[in-house]
Amino acid sequence: MSRMVHAAVASDVREAEEMQEILRAAGIDSELESAEDDSLVVLVPESKLEAAQDAIEAGTEPDEIVAEP
């Protein structure tokens, strides 16, 4: 099993859940982790990182993504 790696950062729970739904639709498992600044880090299996970032980018507006690793 691949280790979980940082795919994106969401500014709030709604945005994080939206990203998880995009990933779920793409067949990619994800987890959320709290960051120190109250944002949420979206984690995905390392082997799916590129596909996850592509799916998130395709499914969101460019200014909605707070940060990428």
| Number of domains the chain contains | 1
* DSSP E strand stretches across 1-69: 4-10, 31-34, 40-45
Give pLDDT < 50 ranges for the chain: 64, 66-67
Write down the pLDDT at residue 36: 84
CB count in 10 Å sphere of residue 11: 15
Tell me if 14 is assigned to some domain: yes
Q: What's the confidence (pLDDT) of residue 62?
A: 55
Residue 56: inside a domain, yes or no? yes
Domain of residue 40 covers: 4-64
pTM for this one?
Answer: 0.82
Residue 67 has φ and ψ, to the nearest 5°, of: -160, 155
Q: At 41, which CATH number? A: 3.30.70.1530
Helix (H, G, I), strand (E, B) or coil at 66: coil
Q: What letter represents residue 63's amino acid?
A: D
Report how far residue 36's alpha carbon sits from residue 54's, in angstroms, rounded to the nearest whole number. Answer: 26
Domain assignment of residue 69, yes or no: no
